[in-house]
Structure 1
Amino acid sequence: MTGMSLDQPPAVRTQPELAEMAPLAPGGLRFAARVIDALVLLVLWLVATVATGMFGDVMRAQERGDGLMESAEALDPAKAVLAFGIVYLGYFLYEGALLAHNGQTLGKRAVGIRVAMLADGDLPGHRGWTRAAVYAFPGLLGGSPFGLFGQLFWVVNSLWFVRDHPYHQCLHDKAAKTVVVRA
């Protein structure tokens, strides 16, 4: 065993100390960023409902004088599943590409926060795609009988950072080994 001392443990790379990292982003800024990004999701939803014909179906039902519940019952389930797929795939591409490129979605940029690698504070690169997948893809269940589970996971995932210490990570951060810091 040359070069190895029995009285010293081998060098192990540990998680960075909080003092070495940019300050963690406060929960209020993270929430504000998600609200802004939800506007992107809303635009995607509008595009998806128009593209699948769902929007037109609802408008025709409203013109007939159908109430909201009757309009919803008249929807074609295949169109709804397709619309959910378009929305969540679009959101995955939006978030994944922007996080991989510069660590910021439009919402994060607007409030001055970014996603960084936990190990060294660098841009997430391909890990931005992992983070986006864990955040967006459970929403695909929304158009299925398992939609409640997807929404429940999304709520638990989004609130996980409140009790997580010391890095205040959500589950999508843990999966990608990222943190959210001030830009």
Structure 2
Amino acid sequence: MAPLATSGQRFVARLLDTLILGVIWTLALAATGALQSAMDDPNDPDIGKTAISAVITFIVYFGYEGAMLAHDGQTLGKKAARIRVAVLADGDIPRGKGWSRAAVYALPGIAQPILLGTLFWLLNSLWHLWDKPFQQCLHDKVAKTVVVEAR
């Protein structure tokens, strides 16, 4: 198996993916009217639009991560950082495991209050800093994957 990715590579990849997803997410929310509803009266959120927003958040994150990881183990951010997700046991492209990894990463986005989802994302993303020996985040542990340098 290739060497494990560095924390810096992982950070760059996640930052780029977050920027890409932020654009997609904003466009999706604008198309449904959920974004306008939140901007019209932020102190009186429309529960229906909030639910739509949560579902869109999950679909965008899950769809992007799952599809790209199942295809070749790389999101656009990971391609730019020259890293990829690999199955821990054999180093292969994650295929189905890419979808389970994406679900664990995306599911907290629909948690209410939103702060809980944000805290989970933060803890999950930092987990690799102290995890030994494979530097896995929680979503890696569930899917039995690791992040390695792309060859």
Please, what TM-score do these two structures have when normalized by structure 2?
0.92
Mark the runs of 5 or more structure 2 residues left unpaired by the alignment. Answer: none
AA matched with 2:94: P
Identify, as 1 or 2, the structure richer in helix: 2
Determine helix, strand or coil for the equivalent of 1:114.
strand
1:61-76 mapped onto 2 (5 Å cutoff)? 61=40, 71-76=41-46
Please, which moves more after superposition, 41-50 or 165-174? 41-50
Once the two structures are superposed, residues 20-45 of structure 1 have per-residue CA deviations (whole angstroms, 9 ceiling, x without a partner) of x2010000110100011001221232
After TM superposition, give the deviation of residue 121 of structure 1 in Å.
0.6
State the partner residue of 1:174: 141
Shift of 1:153: 1.4
Instruction: State the structure with bigger RCO (CA 8 A, min sep 6), 1 or 2.
Output: 2
What CA deviation, in whole Å up to 9, does each residue of 1:111-163 have, x standing for no partner?
1000001111111110000100001111111xx33x22222211111111000
* 1:58 to 1:127, Cα distance in 2 relative to 1, 3 A: closer
Distance in 1 between the 2:34 and 2:62 partners? 22
Contact 1:45–1:83 at 8 Å: present in 2 too?
Answer: no
- Greater shift, 125-134 or 34-43, is seen at 34-43
Larger Rg: 1
Render the CA deviation track for 1:48-104: whole Å, top value 9, x for unaligned.
Answer: 321221333456x4xxxxxxxxx3114323212211211221210111011011000
Contact 2:34 2:52 survives alignment (8 Å): no
CA distance in 2, matches of 1:125, 1:48: 26
Query: How many residue pairs end up in the alignment?
Result: 150
2:102 to 114, 132, 138: 132
Contact kept, 8 Å, 1:54 with 1:75, in 2: the verdict is: no
Are 2:68 and 1:98 aligned?
yes
Contact preservation (8 Å) 1:100, 1:125 = yes
* Fraction of identical pairs, as percent: 56
- TM (norm. structure 1) is 0.77
Per the alignment, residue 107 of structure 1 pairs with 77
Distance 1:74 1:175 in 2: 37
Unaligned runs of 5+ in 1: 1-20, 62-70
Aligned to 1:17: none
Q: Does structure 2 retain, via aligned residues, the 8 Å contact 1:44–1:87? A: no
Q: What is the root-mean-square deviation of aligned Cα atoms in Å?
A: 1.5
Q: Is the contact between residue 25 and residue 60 of structure 2 (CA under 8 Å) also seen in structure 1?
A: no
